[in-house]
Chain A
């Protein structure tokens, strides 16, 4: 909470003293990390995983489902 108030001084937010958010939007590394990761997350998921789950489901002992 305190952090949020501190950042209200727009423009000159020196992040150096905020160890809680060294990878925030002001950080080049923080931005690149997210870009790198978002690209991976948005990759198409191969069918094999849906098939795998379907197989696992079929292998379940046929008890009542909830």
Chain B
């Protein structure tokens, strides 16, 4: 079965998201682009197994993610699991509330274990639902939820953000009233 023009167009259109996800996972632009390339080749090969009308982006993210982890395994590296690591590079300076620098944020994100990083990216940035993210990662919805919440807690800890979601856009009142006891 030939690959349809529509499929090709959709593949092209999803490259920016694939690259963003790949960089988030691999933390390295060159590796990320290799991942994207591999993903496109695989997607092309198995296009017949994609069911039109279902979420192409989720399908592609699944392929990319599998590729990422299989490459990591090939390189003999243990897949990180949530606990352990960390602490080594905790040199991020405390953020002024609401003035968190993007560079600091990136550094903090790099310190998360892969499984937490991918979960928080899928949910908080790529726009997937918990159900879709669970599908992509091949795990239970509850697992995604707990990874997201641990990721968020760790980011807060690294970036020294306290009780942020107690006030949100209303930051001025917290300056006036001091930090909430969270």
**A residues apposed to B, CB below 8 Å:** 11-16, 19, 22-30, 32-43, 45-46, 48-50, 52-53, 56-57, 60-61, 63-66
Contacts and interface: CB of A to CB of B under 8 A. Distances in A.
Contact of A42 (B16, B44, B148, B155): B16
B120 A33 contact: yes
Interface of B: 1-5, 8, 11-12, 15-17, 19-20, 23-24, 33, 36-37, 40-41, 44, 97-98, 100, 102, 105-106, 109, 120-121, 123-126, 145, 148-149, 152, 155-156, 159, 161, 164-170
Given A37-B125, A53-B11, A53-B40, A23 B148 contact: yes
Contact of A29 (B126, B164, B170): B164
B165 A41 contact: no
A52 B19 contact: no
B118 to A, nearest CB: 12
A-B CB proximity, top 3 nearest: A26-B168, A37-B125, A40-B20
A38 B41 CA distance: 25
Contacts of A12: 170
A22 to B, nearest CB: 6
Contacts of B145: 19
B77 to A, nearest CB: 23
Nearest to A49: B15
Contacts of A64: 2
